[in-house]
Structure 1
């Protein structure tokens, strides 16, 4: 009888802990969103990173990964930090893809992994990998047309793309 009582007590404690943990994560996420509304990106990032640090597989973690990827991609620092921020953005998108392959943000995360790799990090091999992965998994997704265009133009300058389309890029003088 004592053993059954201990098991029940342990079960109650575990349920209580899990529900408190979930509430804390939701509170951190709400605080992060408020921080963003108020222009406090640094605090928002800290709160989102706390969610992931505490439980990288929680229900709210995919939103945190996706938002962190978007935030780090949009931070406008000097060129040295910009590259670091793009690498952080990429890592958060990749974590989302890896940990939550069926989440609603996964297609966009794969697209963004390709875009960041190509446009910011100039890593065309990985960009091609992510774009092909996207097309294989989501051939009918609304971003599929953009992904195909990105693949076709991978590594090309805007001038090269325009020239291939027969558009003259030279300014016409008087």
Structure 2
């Protein structure tokens, strides 16, 4: 009887060992399968790249682009995606799809910033805006961001040579663009300039994400988007502020304005409620907390209903 507890304990230990062994083997098998899947994709992509290089056939280009996209969907965490997005953009260059090429390059930079291919993607992005889309301002913003973000990049001297000596810094250029955005005579906004302002702020902060002034530029871009009724873009930018720069002074305001845009501009009251609740939970003592609570209590009410509710009080 004295040895029974020890035997039971040993039995339990053995069972636990066998169970853990199965779990470890299962985990390893998943890793191996995942790795094999990635290797298989990489080999297939390499073969398609060689085929296109030899044939120059548009059909082979389409097949390669499809393979890149499939790999991105199946393996979103693979850092190799930065290079695949770059190569995808390069392929689109050959097909004169310059607008789509910029979207792939922006994705490569924003989603896989830690890749050592990011400076190269930023350089190609600037070249695309400069030489193919005739947007020299956007190209300059990318290059100015690169000066700070990648000072040791091998092609930096070449990039600096492409900027005119009398070019204002990013701050000066955006101040000037802000002035050009409004017609002082008519009081109307120039939509093209407004959209350029938004794009330049996005590009500059994307290529140099650690800039101290980034939350402020993104806030100005979001407010500009609201002023031209591009509410989806405004929300996208507000989210970027409080997600990417949660410790900035702009983060609480951006979170509140996200809810306010849903409420006031889009009449998406259920979504606004969720956003106001999230704001109040995270920033109960913020200057906008009382406003958020008031708006939350009166979601969906017309001006007449609000007036009547005040009269009753």
TM-score by length of 1: 0.71
Task: Give 1:141 deviation, angstroms.
Answer: 2.0
8 A Cα contact 2:140 2:163, kept in partner: yes
Report what 1:47 is aligned to: 67
The superposition leaves residues 35-91 of structure 1 with CA deviations (integer Å, 9 ceiling, x where unpaired) of 12122222222111111011222143222122112111222xxxxxx3xx2122212
Report what 2:87 is aligned to: 67
The superposition leaves residues 80-138 of structure 1 with CA deviations (integer Å, 9 ceiling, x where unpaired) of xx3xx212221222122112223221111011111111211222232122111111122
Report what 1:20 is aligned to: 33
Task: Give 1:139 deviation, angstroms.
Answer: 2.0
Match for 1:103 among 115, 121, 141? 115
Report what 1:91 is aligned to: 103
Consecutive unaligned residues in structure 2, runs of 5 or more: 1-11, 53-59, 166-313
Residues 66 and 15 of structure 1: CA distance in aligned 2, closer, same or farther (over 3 Å):
farther
Residues 88 and 21 of structure 1: CA distance in aligned 2, closer, same or farther (over 3 Å):
farther
Query: What's the C-alpha RMSD, in Å, of the aligned pairs?
Result: 2.3
Map 1:21-170 → 2, pairs under 5 A: 21-39=34-52, 40-75=60-95, 82=96, 85-152=97-164
8 A Cα contact 1:69 1:88, kept in partner: yes
Q: Larger C-alpha radius of gyration, 1 or 2?
A: 2
SS of the residue aligned with 1:122? coil
Task: Give 1:3 deviation, angstroms.
Answer: 8.0
Q: Structure 2: how far apart are the matches of 1:61 and 1:5?
A: 38
TM-score by length of 2: 0.42
**Count of residues paired in the alignment:** 145
Task: Give 1:6 deviation, angstroms.
Answer: 6.0
Q: Structure 1: how far apart are the matches of 2:163 and 2:106?
A: 19
8 A Cα contact 2:92 2:101, kept in partner: yes
